[in-house]
Structure 1
C-alpha cells in the first residue's frame, strides 16, 4: 500500500477492487498438471528412499523414466502458463 503511494488502506482497497482486472491464476489444465507433478514427486521420494537403503542400482532405470515424465509435465505447465 505504502509503496504504491497510498496513505489510507480504505482508498487503497477501493482502488484495488474497482480498478483491477481479475484474472485466473491457475487454469484447470495447469492444476491437473500440478497434481501430476505431485504424484510424480511422491514416486521420486520412493526412489530416493530405495537409493538411500542401498538398492539404488535396481531403481536407476525407473528414476530415469520418472525424470523424463517430470520434464514433460513441467514443459506442459510452462506452455499453459504462456498461453494465459
Structure 2
C-alpha cells in the first residue's frame, strides 16, 4: 500500500514537472522576436526645442517620423520624457 502511494506521488511530481516544462517552452517560444529588437538611434530625440512660452519640448520620433512633442519639467526633462515614450 505504501509503495503504491509513493509511486502515485512520484508520478504526479513527474507529471507536474513535464507540464511546467511544456508551459515554459510555449511561453518563451514567441518572446525571442521581442528580445531581438535593437534600440534605434532614430527613436531617441535629437533636439530639445524651446516653445514660445519658454517651456522646453522634445519630439517623439518613431520610424523616422515625429509623432508629437512632449513638454518637460525640472524633475523630468523633455528629452528624457520623449526617450521614455
Larger RCO of the pair (alpha carbons < 8 Å, separation 6+): 1
TM surpasses 0.5: no
- TM-score, with structure 1 as normaliser: 0.31
- TM-score, with structure 2 as normaliser: 0.31
Q: Which has the larger radius of gyration?
A: 2
The structure that is helix-richer by fraction is 1
The structure that is strand-richer by fraction is 2
